[in-house]
Chains A and B, each alone.
Chain A
Amino acid sequence: MSSVLYDTPGPRAKRRNVLFSVVFTVLLLLLLWWVWQKMDDKGQLDSALWKPFTTSEAWTTYLLPGLANTLKAAALAMVIALPLGAVFGIARLSDHRWVRGVAGTVVEFFRAIPVLLLMLFANEFYSRYTDVSSEDRPLYAVVTGLVLYNAAVLAEVVKAGILSLPKGQTEAAYAIGLRKGQTMSSILLPQAVTAMLPAIVSQLVVIVKDTALGGVMLNFPELLNSRGTLAANYANVIQSFIVVAIIYIALNFVLTSFASWLERYLRRSKRSTGAVLGVDKVDDLNAAAVGGSYGTGAGGGGI
Chain B
Amino acid sequence: MFDFLDGYDVLGAFWMTVKLTAVSAVGALVWGTLLAAMRVSPVPLMRGFGTVYVNVVRNIPLTVIVLFSSLGLADIFGMTMGTKDFDIQGFRLAVLSLAAYTAAFVCEAIRSGINTVPLGQAEAARAIGLSFSQTLTLVVLPQAFRSVIGPLANVLIALTKNTTVAAAIGVAEAALLMKTMIENEAQTLLIGAVFAFGFVVLTLPTGLILGWLGKRLAVKR
Contacts and interface: CB of A to CB of B under 8 A. Distances in A.
B167 interface: yes
Nearest to B58: A301
Contacts of B104: 301
Interface centre among B71, B102, B215 (most CB of A within 10 A): B71
Given A245-B60, A287-B207, A291-B211, A296 B76 contact: no
A256 B114 CA distance: 23
Contacts of B54: 299
Contacts of B132: 5-6
B49 A287 contact: no
Contact of A212 (B63, B112, B196): B63
B168 A216 contact: yes
Interface string B54-88: 11101111111001100110011100000000000
A6 B63 contact: no
Interface residues of B, number: 82
A44 B175 CA distance: 33
Contacts of B55: 253
Judged by DSSP, the binding face of A is helix
Judged by DSSP, the binding face of B is helix
B191 to A, nearest CB: 8
B20 interface: no
A3 B75 contact: no
Contact of B64 (A28, A112, A237, A244): A244
A117 B168 contact: no
B59 A213 contact: no
Contacts of B116: 296
A116 B165 contact: yes
B203 to A, nearest CB: 5
A237 to B, nearest CB: 6
B178 A3 contact: no
Contacts of B105: 283, 298, 301, 303
Contacts of A286: 154, 158
Contacts of B135: 5-6
B147 interface: yes
A215 B63 contact: yes
Contact of B112 (A6, A209, A299): A299
A68 interface: no
Nearest to A39: B77
B122 to A, nearest CB: 4
A288 B119 CA distance: 33
B96 interface: no
A109 interface: yes
A280 B208 contact: no
B179 interface: yes
Interface in B33-57: 40, 42-46, 49, 54-56
B90 interface: no
Interface in B179-221: 179, 182-183, 188, 192, 195-196, 199-200, 203-204, 206-208, 210-211, 214-215, 218
Interface centre among A116, A209, A248, A301 (most CB of B within 10 A): A116
A249 B200 contact: no
Contacts of B122: 4-5
In the A-B complex, the 5 residue pairs with the closest CB atoms = A294-B150, A289-B207, A287-B154, A252-B59, A298-B108
28 contacts: A7-B126, A13-B42, A21-B45, A21-B46, A24-B46, A113-B161, A114-B199, A124-B182, A209-B62, A213-B61, A217-B175, A224-B67, A237-B71, A238-B72, A238-B76, A241-B64, A245-B60, A245-B64, A249-B56, A252-B59, A283-B108, A283-B109, A289-B154, A289-B208, A291-B207, A294-B154, A296-B147, A297-B151
Interface of B: 40, 42-46, 49, 54-56, 58-64, 67-68, 71-72, 75-77, 102, 104-105, 108-109, 111-116, 119, 122-123, 126, 132, 135-136, 140, 147-148, 150-151, 153-159, 161-162, 164-165, 167-168, 174-175, 178-179, 182-183, 188, 192, 195-196, 199-200, 203-204, 206-208, 210-211, 214-215, 218
